Amino acid sequence: MNDNKIWYALYTRPRWEKKVAALLIEEGMEHYCPLNKVKKQWSDRKKYVLEPLFKGYVFVRLEEKNKWTVKNIEGVLNFVYWNGEPAIIRDAEIDTIRKFLLEFDDVHVKQLNPQLNGKVKIKQGLLMDYHGIVLEIKGNKARIKIDSMGMQLSAVFDLKNLENL
């Protein structure tokens, strides 16, 4: 393995994940399109089919200096961005997805975003394990109301540090 290569997440056209993966193979680019084995029911039969686990996404592993060449591949819309830069995916996260899919079939992915007035638990920091209510959401931050010692406190937390209850 080449240590100076980095995993990036790409947005694809809708329902183009497998096509983009095939085009990346043709270009000789290392990629990963996690496929989920799902049982489908037709009127006359049941069949297992492979569907992309993450709709609209494919992972690609490139040297940073060559990352922009991937945008020339048909079906690739853009990189997934984080803080204004193409998001970097850790090798360990890709390995975890691979191991998970080897062990389980028919996996479901659900993004849990806190909702206004929804109850959440804080996962990190001084207030870890405290429960609160979402007052406001702006970008990747949320203002949370916490009742403590007969008082109401409110603070802003990163969404990644919150868990829905």
Q: Give the predicted TM-score (pTM) of the model.
A: 0.66
Whether residue 74 sits in one domain with residue 127: no
Whether residue 130 sits in one domain with residue 98: no
Whether residue 98 sits in one domain with residue 27: yes
Domain range for 11 is 5-103
Amino acid at 102: L
The pLDDT mean for the chain works out to 87
User: Within 71-165, where are the H helices?
Assistant: 91-103
Q: Are strands 57-63 and 5-12 parallel, antiparallel or unpaired?
A: antiparallel
Whether residue 47 sits in one domain with residue 14: yes
pLDDT per position as a tens digit, 3-34: 789 999 999 999 999 999 999 999 999 999 99
Please report the pLDDT score of residue 82 as a whole number. 80
Whether residue 13 sits in one domain with residue 45: yes
Pairwise CA distance, residues 51 & 125, whole Å? 38
Whether residue 91 sits in one domain with residue 14: yes
What CATH number should be reported for the domain holding residue 95?
3.30.70.940
- Tell which residue, 152, 157, 122, 121, has the closest CA to residue 136: 157
Pairwise CA distance, residues 22 & 135, whole Å? 45
Pairwise CA distance, residues 116 & 46, whole Å? 41
- Tell which residue, 59, 55, 50, 64, has the closest CA to residue 24: 59
Whether residue 91 sits in one domain with residue 11: yes
Q: What is the DSSP letter of 146?
A: E
Whether residue 61 sits in one domain with residue 98: yes
Tally of structural domains, the chain: 2
Whether residue 88 sits in one domain with residue 15: yes
Whether residue 97 sits in one domain with residue 140: no
Please report the pLDDT score of residue 156 as a whole number. 85
Percent of the chain with pLDDT over 90: 39
Whether residue 37 sits in one domain with residue 11: yes
What are the tokens at 43? 């009127």
pLDDT per position as a tens digit, 103-144: 887 777 766 677 788 888 888 777 788 888 888 888 778 888
Residue 109 lies in a domain: no
Whether residue 89 sits in one domain with residue 140: no
